[in-house]
Amino acid sequence: MATQVAPELLIVMGAGATPAQTEHVVARLAEVGVSARVSRGREATVIGAIGERDLLASLPLEAYPGVEQVLLIVKPYKLVSRELAADPTVIDVNGRLLGDSHFGLIAGPCTVEYREQTLETARVVAAAGVTMLRGGAYKPRTSPYTFQGLGAAGLEILAEARAETGLPLVTELLDPRDVEAVVDTADVIQIGARNMQNFILLSEAGRSAKPVLLKRGPSASLEELLMAAEYVMKEGNERVILCERGIKTFETTMRYTLDLGAVPVLKQETHLPVIVDPSHAAGRRDLVLPLARAAVAAGADGIIVEVHPRPEEALCDGPQQIPADEFAEFAREVVSVVTLMGKTVG
């Protein structure tokens, strides 16, 4: 069994490629310091290349005449990779743990509408044993004519709910100009699905001292999600929580198709914890519990759900919010699966 050094990038030249085209690719690789080895077969000529990962990932080799396919053997991400850190990352948010055997149960209002709605919800979820409180002050909305959140005033109300319950607070950052205000109030900064590839926000979050909850975009591949997390980690912030919340597909009975296979796949690829948001995927309250249970059984490190005292009056996402008076029972059902999986809440 002869061995040699494995290629890190493979370039497959099409059946019609000329020797000169192959030589041209090899010459270009040599120019930038990448070593190459050519092998010829019945149908295709294959060039194996070895060099710096970043360099290999950025070469526009598909632009070269005769090139049919380019395959990167090395992964395009590194800091998020299992290969860098074999043990699962456990994130400590003011003493509440998330990751490995510690399950994060995160709940709260979709949006801060007014003080009493937020405090009432916070008390209910705290009493039911959640580990963190969620709530939005800045809301990204499809329509400019709908409620856009209370902004800074919402952050103040959330700070009060946090103080009263002692729960760490997860809230969304939308605008890089709000980063200081949000970081001051939040214990975990959420980057929403629509901003998963807002690289400006990712870098800002990466420079903050708070953990980041990063939601998968509705059309983002898992590799794109990991690359987005890499943006945060590259700036020095090692505490990133990934969140599956549904992808866009042809099926229209739910708002999004929840991709629970993403949970075990991500946990193989990365040491970062992976949680699931069943509320936004479902868009319907009656589906939240089955999907939450399924998420836990698939191996998720936590779930994040929305709760409202009177969902019928909610200014945002009412149909998917769990009524506050049903939340304790919801939490019990979820925790029974957490226990079966050999994990503990918090």
Mask: binding to a second copy, 302-331, rule CB under 8 A, as x and -?
---------xxxxxxxxxxx----------
Cα distance between residue 332 and residue 321, in whole Å = 17
Dihedral of CA atoms 216, 220, 225, 228 in degrees, nearest 10, equals: -100
Stretch that binds a second copy, among 32-40, 89-97, 153-161, 207-215 (CB under 8 A): 32-40
Minimum CB separation from a second copy for residue 172, in Å?
12
Tell me how far apart the terminal alpha carbons of the chain are, to the nearest angstrom: 51
Q: Is residue 142 at the binding interface for a second copy, with CB under 8 A as the rule? A: yes
Minimum CB separation from a second copy for residue 158, in Å?
20
Q: Is residue 174 at the binding interface for a second copy, with CB under 8 A as the rule? A: yes
Q: Is residue 15 at the binding interface for a second copy, with CB under 8 A as the rule? A: yes
Q: Is residue 251 at the binding interface for a second copy, with CB under 8 A as the rule? A: yes
Residues 212 and 241 sit within 8 Å (Cβ to Cβ): yes
Helix axes 222-234, 262-269, angle to 10 degrees: 40
Q: Is residue 100 at the binding interface for a second copy, with CB under 8 A as the rule? A: no
Please state whether 3 falls in left (phi above 0), alpha (psi between -120 and 50) or beta.
Answer: beta
Q: Is residue 141 at the binding interface for a second copy, with CB under 8 A as the rule? A: yes
Q: Is residue 191 at the binding interface for a second copy, with CB under 8 A as the rule? A: no
Q: Is residue 176 at the binding interface for a second copy, with CB under 8 A as the rule? A: yes
Position among 296, 305, 331, 335 found at the interface with a second copy (CB under 8 A) = 296
Q: Is residue 39 at the binding interface for a second copy, with CB under 8 A as the rule? A: yes
With tokens 């070593």, the residue in question is 35
Q: Is residue 179 at the binding interface for a second copy, with CB under 8 A as the rule? A: no
Q: Is residue 195 at the binding interface for a second copy, with CB under 8 A as the rule? A: yes
Q: Is residue 297 at the binding interface for a second copy, with CB under 8 A as the rule? A: yes
Cα distance between residue 260 and residue 26, in whole Å = 42
Residues 220 and 197 sit within 8 Å (Cβ to Cβ): yes
Please state whether 100 falls in left (phi above 0), alpha (psi between -120 and 50) or beta.
Answer: left
